[in-house]
């Protein structure tokens, strides 16, 4: 008899959750950050969803949030025309980077010295984390607002996407676009795998996985409906997606076969991400909730206890 998926519901946000991101595995485990239109990005324990703190200071919807791999710093981008840098463990504000328009995307370079931002004015910027007062570097414009950015492999490549149906590839050494990857539709989600080998892009009903070194597409998965976000398992076992039909889907990476489908949200799903150990994946929705789902249903992990031991396991994170 198969086990039933019981997600952990992480309360706290009062408006749609539009972005989620995990740190790597630290001596304290992994951490999870969420961005919401309520302007209150939150930090949680990555395995349980337990609330650890709220980053206070934005004066508008927060559209993007990310963590460094070591979990020491956080960054957020918001509708108040700023990106902010934080000390993750304390919530202390470290720097504010003013922008000419709404900041829709943020990402750290691998060496943590720079913050890449994507703006609604179609522009990608490079901010110095070591010298916050330094003038931002400017990359060539997209043809529409920038929705997602990610960095790597290495310290010099940046990937960006907008509604112009392409992925821009930039070299930070020259600040020039070195390649443009065409897609069938607007790219709403970009994710570089933690090993730096794969770039996963979600565009409408298609998820494409690229070789991050050669930029060649190596896998294309057809989706049952329009998806807004996709995430690849750290061991390349599966792909999880979420989108407008309110369901979380899990697909076998090798075959493209749909393995699971769960309906737990009450609004479109804007963001999904796998934890660094691959044991859980998170989802953020228009319904204002953040949820954690087990990759292996019924396994003892975090707040989940194997059904044979405790069939009444709690399903809400404090």
Q: What are the boundaries of each domain within the chain? A: 95-294
Q: Is the pLDDT reported for residue 2 higher than 60?
A: no
φ and ψ at 132, to 5 degrees? -60, -25
Q: Is the pLDDT reported for residue 316 higher than 90?
A: no
Which homologous superfamily does the CATH classification assign to the domain defined by 95-294? YVTN repeat-like/Quinoprotein amine dehydrogenase (2.130.10.10)
Mean pLDDT, residues 282-292: 97
Look at 313 and 252; give whichever has higher pLDDT: 252
pLDDT for position 139: 85
pLDDT for position 309: 43
Q: Is the pLDDT reported for residue 3 higher than 90?
A: no
Burial grade of 60 (CB within 10 A; 0-12, 13-18, 19 or more): middle
pLDDT for position 306: 80
Q: Is the pLDDT reported for residue 253 higher than 70?
A: yes
- Cα–Cα nearest to 41, from 67, 59, 65, 11: 65
| pLDDT (tens digit per residue) in 112-149 | 999 999 999 999 999 999 999 999 988 877 888 899 99
Mean pLDDT of the chain: 92
pLDDT for position 313: 42
Q: Is the pLDDT reported for residue 1 higher than 90?
A: no
pLDDT for position 99: 97
| pLDDT (tens digit per residue) in 202-224 | 999 999 999 999 999 999 999 99
- Report the percentage of the chain scoring pLDDT > 90: 84
Q: What is the pTM of this model?
A: 0.92
Using DSSP bridges, classify how beta strands 51-54 and 217-232 pair: parallel, antiparallel or unpaired.
unpaired
């Amino acid at each position: 008899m198969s086990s039933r998926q019981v997600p952990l519901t992480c309360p706290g946000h009062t408006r749609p959750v539009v972005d989620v991101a995990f740190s790597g595995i630290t001596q304290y485990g992994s951490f999870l950050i969420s961005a919401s239109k309520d302007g209150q990005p939150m930090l949680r324990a990555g395995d349980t969803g337990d609330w650890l703190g709220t980053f206070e200071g934005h004066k508008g919807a927060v559209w993007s949030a990310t963590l460094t791999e070591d979990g020491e710093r956080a960054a957020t981008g918001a509708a108040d025309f700023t990106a902010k840098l934080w000390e993750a463990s304390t919530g202390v504000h470290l720097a504010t980077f003013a922008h000419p328009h709404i900041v829709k995307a943020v990402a750290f370079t691998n060496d943590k010295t720079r913050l890449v931002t994507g703006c609604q004015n179609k522009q990608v910027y490079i901010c110095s984390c070591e010298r916050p007062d330094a003038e931002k570097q400017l990359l060539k414009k997209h043809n529409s607002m920038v929705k997602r950015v990610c960095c790597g492999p290495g310290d010099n490549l940046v990937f960006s996407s907008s509604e112009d149906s392409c992925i821009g590839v930039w070299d930070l050494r020259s600040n020039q676009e070195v390649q443009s990857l065409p897609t069938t539709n607007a790219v709403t989600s970009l994710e570089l795998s933690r090993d730096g080998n794969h770039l996963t892009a979600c565009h409408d009903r298609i998820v494409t996985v690229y070789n991050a070194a050669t930029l060649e597409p190596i896998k294309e998965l057809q989706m049952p409906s329009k998806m807004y976000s996709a995430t690849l398992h750290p061991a390349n076992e599966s792909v999880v997606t979420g989108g407008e039909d309110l369901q979380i889907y899990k697909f076998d990476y090798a075959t493209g076969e749909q393995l699971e489908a769960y309906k737990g949200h009450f609004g479109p799903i804007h963001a999904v991400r796998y934890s660094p150990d691959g044991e859980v994946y998170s989802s953020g929705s228009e319904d204002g909730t953040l949820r954690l789902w087990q990759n292996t249903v019924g396994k003892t992990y975090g707040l989940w206890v194997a059904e044979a031991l405790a069939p009444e396991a709690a399903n809400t994170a404090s």
